[in-house]
Structure 1
């Protein structure tokens, strides 16, 4: 199994709206992609900035490519992301999952 992590920052005042946006966009796309085993959405606020960390679990790199395309190490964004995100981080990180509980 492969874990894919993505990080984004939004203004704290937009944190709830951004989470609702994630539920309408990326999280639905993850769930509808064969080979996706789930997602965790983590949120942390520091002053006026809220960080989001998404951890998705996948059966294989082929499953990730089905979601992200051939350049699967690049982050995948949606048109309205610029309404929320302070910047677009260009890359995601992948980890081999050794154990879960």
Structure 2
């Protein structure tokens, strides 16, 4: 899971950037099972949370590099984000249910 913050005035443009650049990048890596980008608007700020599911740690390394906790950023992120959180969080899925 990754978290980032931008101003409300840039939130729609950042949403489009994530849809067009980041999500396809995640999905292009073998072993990526899913990507969800969550958005929460509050006052003058907008928070984004990216939640991805992977087959294995090796799949994550293929996307992010050897340091599994280091956040991966795109050059364009500097146009949007108010700061760069250095780390992501990893969790092991212990229960999951699909609709239907």
Q: Normalising TM by the smaller chain, what interval?
A: over 0.9
Higher RCO (C-alpha under 8 Å, 6+ residues apart) = 1
- Give the match's secondary structure for 1:54: strand
Alignment partner of 1:43 is 2:39: yes
CA RMSD of aligned residues (A): 0.7
Residue 72 (structure 1) aligned to one of 41, 65, 68: 68
Which stretches in structure 2 are left out of the alignment for 5+ residues?
Answer: none
The TM-score with structure 2 as length reference comes to 0.94
How many residue pairs get aligned? The number is 97
Q: Which of the pair is proportionally richer in strand? A: 1
Task: Tell me, in whole angstroms, the C-alpha distance in 2 between the residues paired with 1:40 and 1:21.
Answer: 14
The TM-score with structure 1 as length reference comes to 0.93
Q: Which runs of 4+ in 1 moved over 6 A?
A: none
